Every structure is written in structure tokens, then in C-alpha cells.
Structure 1
């Protein structure tokens, strides 16, 4: 989680926006090193997580992770759940899976490496509300220049006990490389003085089908508190342009619905209004939002973030571009097949195709598609030939074709 924390008087920010016509490099005016806490435990039986970091000046692009802390969650029924630092993931993970239970309160406690103690207010799991429906429709909105697919959610709580919702999604899409290669390429015996070399082609199984998964960023919330009926209806959670390469073959979206307390909903809303667009807390926030974390060591110390318990339900949807009558979207990159003749080497009157072939394969990682008996090579950039260059050829367990 990239966290930025900037205290700038609001009218000065507005003044800059109105008056500056030349590019202006923003620098931190006042900066405080503040602990940032982000954690949502759910009613899913799984390893729960806690993310800790430190605020940093706006001009610092590095994420300042808070490691080597002692982290645990205690419950009102006497349970205690310890967490460990996972260096690969960059956050804390519970040693044992657990799930939040109804009518039990949970408290997060943190002891940082510098000896400071922090605790949260007790939180209680909100009632569970099943997501009723997730579906996709074509959308054309000339004013917003939208032309594509909108994924929508319907949810109803007839009890009226749950009025605040937050949504996240995981999108997975199938990738088919347009120019798969049957060869591994190796250059040997390179002579820089004469510009000669040999290209060894070894057989390979074409890696043309891959799957990529991306997790949503930003804060997406819905509330029914102002409605006469406790119903989330046609709520948009994901928009995809009809030209988006992600829907070029087959696309799947897993939508997660979190029921929030009014306190958690309000905190996230404030964070979003302050300018967060990537995660719970992100760069460029012009203020401070008080959460439910406090410092036991120094009550005057600011702590940024929120610890919440949330009930979660999810649903998955699949679709193809032609389900909506769209033309096939373009591939992720423009693929150009180049052709070079090895025998067209150094010449005072022509283009050195042999040198260009060497450079493309050696420095740009171009892949050989074919070669004829006259050593004329057809090559293409790696993204167009080997999908594992930027994705994974491991088919997800949940995938349905």
C-alpha cells in the first residue's frame, strides 16, 4: 500500500489549482511520520491480514512498510490470534486461519519495533447479506464517452439491518498470443569484428494461452440509508471499454461485497473524498482522517487507518466480447512481424539486416517465428509470441471456458 500524507491548507491547494499554468513540482510542506493501519477481518475462514506502513513525503515514491512489529487480534470470547510478518507479501498474516463470528467483538493490538503500542476500538461483525445478482450490460454514454460493458450488482436486505456496503473485485482474463513461436532462440559464436554469428533454434511447446489476474484499486461504496427500500439496485462496480484488450478473448470478474458498520463506511468515504484513488490510503491526501486506532504510548500521537470486521459474499461472472455484439478488441500491443535476411550484412549501400536481426533478438528479445533455407528470419516482439513474457500460463482452478 502506497501511503502519502500531506498537510496543506485547503485554500492554498485550491489557489495552486486555479492560478498555476506552468508545470509545478509539488513538495511536502509539513510532513509527519505516522503509522498507517489497514485491516479488514471477515467471516471467511482464511488467514486474515493486517497491513502496516508509514506515511512519507509526497515526493517520495517508495512505500514505507512497517515490519518487525508484534501484531495480534483478541476477541471478547477469550481467543487470541497472532500474526507474523510475511516479507514476500509485505504485510502481516495470521498464523492460523480464523473467521469473525457474530456477537463477538474484536480488537487489534500492535507493538512496533520502536516499542510503541497501538490498539483499535472493539469492532463487531455486521449481519451477513448475500449478493443477489451480478450481471453485465452494454453501455453507451456519449457525454462520458463510455462505450462498452458495465458490470452491475443487485443486493437486498429485507431486515433493514445492513445499509452500508463496500465492493472490491478480482478480474481474470484469458490471453491468446497472436503469433506463437515453436522455437527457443540462442545466438552463439558472435564475432563483433565481422558481425557474424549463428542462431540456434530449439523446439518448444508454444506458450500462447495465458491468464492474468488483477485486483481492484480505489474505494467503491454504496449506501441505502437514504432510500425507502433497503436495496442496492444496478450498482456499477466495473466498466470496460469495448476496445479494452482484457475482453479480447474471455473475461471473468469476481465481485466481493463487504457489509460495513456506519463507522467504517464513514471513514472510507472520508478517505475517498480526501483524494484516495488507489487503496484505503494513497498519495496526495490534503488532510487527516481519524480512524479507530489510537496510540497507547502517546494519546496525542496521530494514527491513520481503520480496523474493521466485515461480512463478505462474492459472485463471479464470465463473458466474451462477442456476447455483446462487439468487434474483437485490439491486442495488448501492436504486433509487427519483421523480416530480416542474414546474408544482407554490412554494405556501404544498404541496410545491415544481419546486425538489425542480432540487435532485435539480443536486446529486444524478439522471437523467431520461422526461417527459410536462405536464412531469412521472421521475428516478432515477445509479447506477441510468448504470453508468459507478461502473464502466466497456469490456468486458474475456477476458470470456465
Structure 2
């Protein structure tokens, strides 16, 4: 095992001092929620628009909105809808820069929603990641104790300088490759396995925040930021990415409100019991709008794990036995879909782009 070094957020004790936010607990549905960001890099420049439903139901994605970011010089650029409810910025006319000031305008159903002005603050910590292998003991729903091999990600953050006031947030994610299974060339001569890249958020249970006004140490160390069960996803390149965002005070307060909810409910992606007030106003003074638009610098630190780092044999979940291999040989010539229809393998074994959070787009660092 590697020595635990490096981690970040010893400062989480500051959460106990956070202001208690009084949130509404009743929701009839129909409220618009806008969350968006502009950064100083190529990633993270997106806006998500949803509409709440009745309690217990997941929000609905909202398509057809006109989403425009405007900088302090009046330059405007429209976000382009890449999937239902998700709008991406091309950074052709408006490029986020530290010190820049930005606001967002959303036009939808004859109404205009405008965010407050947001200044982009710097991300000032230097992050490092390391890992350790461990055995985690768990109790199954049937009450049986089981042992699982896990990898724990440890982080450390250091500051060259400590400004009087600064605010930071971190997000953890993993990115790994999945390849479609091989099929007999003589039966499927035109079949080519897909190469997919899966990105999973690992910090949904936690919002890693630091209020710099309460930090006077130059190092935040030895904090576990993620724990992941070992499986076949580690057979190839497996990245753990920690992304640091520089926030302004208003953005930090918004994330504190979210942190209050996730402490009670478990995840920012769960159906929340209350909407979180943000920085949007509507041209309809009677309409309540939720969500936040932030201008945040972003800095990413990556940790690459390969099979050489993991002394564990991984069983391929798509591996077939001799009997199933013979069944594959007997399906009609080049009928890939027949393999799935006859339930010889799962569809994701051939079409890895069906795996949640997967993409055929190769990240630049792979």
C-alpha cells in the first residue's frame, strides 16, 4: 500500500458554524431551476435547466430556451443546447477570465430570467492526490457481513499565500474506459468494438467547501475524498480527478445552502425536499426561480491508476462461457442485435455507450 499523503479539507469543521437556512419543505412542482457556470477553461461551461415536479419525482429537463452569457464589456454569446435541458458554451465570443464579470440571461416561454453579476475569483490552492488500497467491511441488506476491496483517494492542498478572504469548492470525479466485447470476426466481419469513456461524479454525497476567512494554515491535508470498490473498470486506464473552483462570497453561500440540504438528504442529485434560493430574477415578479449562475475559475489535478497499481485479478463481466460462445456463432450472420435479443450478453457489453454517463468522445488527457 502506498503511504497516505495528500488530501484536502480538514477545514470541514467550519460546516458546524454554517448559518441554518430555513427552507420550504412543501413543493407542488412547476418551479424553474437554472444552474450554470462559466469558467476560465474549456470544461464546465454549461447550463442545466429543469422544472420541478411533485414531491418524490425527478425534475424534468427543459428544452428550447435561449441562454446567453454577457461580460462586463457587453460581449454576448449564446449557449447551444447539446442534449435536453443541457446548454454548452462554445467560448467563441465570451471567454471566462479571472477578474472578469459575467451574468446570464435565459429566455423561455415569453419570460426572461437574469442572474446577478458574478466576478470570477482565482483558484489558489495547489492540490495533489494519492491513494491506498484497503478492505471495507459492509453489512448486506440480508444482514450478512462482507469484505470488499476498495481504493481510497487521499488529497492534500497547500497555499503559497493566504489572502484575507477567499472561497473554494472541490469536486471529485472518476473517468475510465470501457470497450465493447470482441465478436468472432468470421461471423461479424464488419463489427468494430466501441471505445467509451465513463465519467462519474464521486462527491455527490459531499460538498467540499472552504471559507478562507477561517483558514490560516498553509496546508489542508490527509482527507479522504473518495472511496471506490475495485472492479473491472480498473483493468485499463482509470483517472481520479479533483477539480478546484474559485468562488466569490455569493456563490459560496449558495453552496452552503445546498450543503445543508445534502447533509439531511444524502445527495445533491436526489429529489430535494426544498428548492434553494439562488441569484436569478424573473420578468414575472410573481414567479419564484431557483438555481444559480456562477463565474468560477477551475483547476484540475489528476491521478492515474492502471492495472499495474492494483494487485487484483478483475473478472470481465462480459466474458462468455463456451456454451454462450457457441450460441453467438449460431445467430444469423452479422446480426449483432440477435446476441442481445437472445439474452446471451447484456446490451452494454456490445454498446458501451448505453452505460450511464458514458461518451464516445475521448478526453484530451487519455
Q: Structure 2: how far apart are the matches of 1:246 and 1:101?
A: 36
Match of 1:54 in 2: 51
Distance 1:240 1:54 in 2: 32
Relative distance call for 1:108 and 1:363 in structure 2 (3 A) is: closer
Distance 1:84 1:336 in 2: 48
Tell me how far apart the structure 2 counterparts of residues 82 and 137 of structure 1 sit (CA, whole Å): 44
Name 1:13's counterpart in structure 2: none
2:160 equivalent to 1:148: no
Count of matched residue positions in the alignment of Structure 1 and Structure 2 = 324
**Are 2:104 and 2:115, in contact at CA under 8 Å, matched by a contact in 1?**
yes
Give the equivalent residue in structure 1 for 2:18: none
Establish whether residue 172 from structure 1 lines up as the match of residue 176 from structure 2.
yes
- Rounded to whole Å, the distance in 2 between the matches of 1:92 and 1:385 is 30
In structure 2, the CA distance between the partners of 1:303 and 1:228, relative to structure 1 (3 Å rule), is same
**2:303 is the counterpart of 1:303:** no
Structure 1: tracts of 5 or more residues without a match: 1-6, 10-28, 185-200, 343-356, 368-378
Shift of 1:330: 2.4
1:117-196 correspondence runs (5 A):
117-129=112-124, 131-142=126-137, 147-161=149-163, 162-175=166-179, 177=181, 180-183=182-185
Which structure has the bigger radius of gyration?
Answer: 1
Question: Aligned match of 2:31 in 12, 31, 34?
Answer: 34
Contact 1:295 1:301 in 2 (8 A): yes
Whole-angstrom distance in 2 between the partners of 1:287 and 1:132 = 33
- Once the two structures are TM-superposed, the CA of residue 338 in structure 1 deviates from its matched residue by 1.3
Q: Distance in 1 between matches of 2:349 and 2:48?
A: 38
Distance 1:297 1:303 in 2: 10
For 1:67-86, list aligned pairs within 5 A. Answer: 67-76=63-72, 78-86=73-81
| Distance in 2 (alpha carbons) for counterparts of 1:336 and 1:46 | 42
Residue pair 1:74, 1:81 contacting (<8 A) in 2 also: yes
Work out the CA distance in 2 between the residues paired with 1:8 and 1:163.
Answer: 27
How far apart in 1 are the matches of 2:277 and 2:287?
A: 11
The equivalent of 1:312 in structure 2 is 298
Contact in 2 for aligned 1:131/1:257 (Cα 8 Å): no
Tell me how far apart the structure 2 counterparts of residues 259 and 102 of structure 1 sit (CA, whole Å). Answer: 9
1:328 aligns with 2:313: yes
Query: How big is the shift at 1:394?
Result: 6.6
Change (3 A) 1:294 1:204: closer
Aligned alpha-carbon RMSD (Å): 4.0
Q: Which moved more, 1:289-298 or 1:267-276?
A: 267-276
Q: Unpaired segments of 5 or more residues in structure 2?
A: 1-22, 140-146
Partners of 2:326 and 2:297 lie apart in 1 by 63
Q: Structure 1's 339 and 248: CA in aligned 2 closer, same or farther, altered over 3 A?
A: closer
Instruction: Choose the corresponding residue for 1:99, options 95, 101, 105.
Output: 95
What TM-score comes out, normalization by structure 1 length? 0.66
Matched, 1:366 2:339: yes
Matches of 2:74 and 2:51 in 1, distance apart?
Answer: 29
> SS of 1:365's equivalent?
helix
Q: How far off is 1:304 after superposition?
A: 0.9
Q: Please report how far the alpha carbon of residue 104 of structure 1 lies from its aligned counterpart in structure 2 after TM superposition.
A: 3.1
Q: Is the 8 A contact 2:55 2:273 kept in 1?
A: no
- 2:6 aligns with none
TM-score, normalised relative to structure 2: 0.72
Task: Quote the Cα distance in structure 2 between the aligned partners of 1:399 and 1:87.
Answer: 22
Distance 1:380 1:263, change over 3 A: same
Is 1:66 aligned to residue 62 of structure 2? yes
Q: Going by fraction, where is helix more abundant, 1 or 2? A: 2
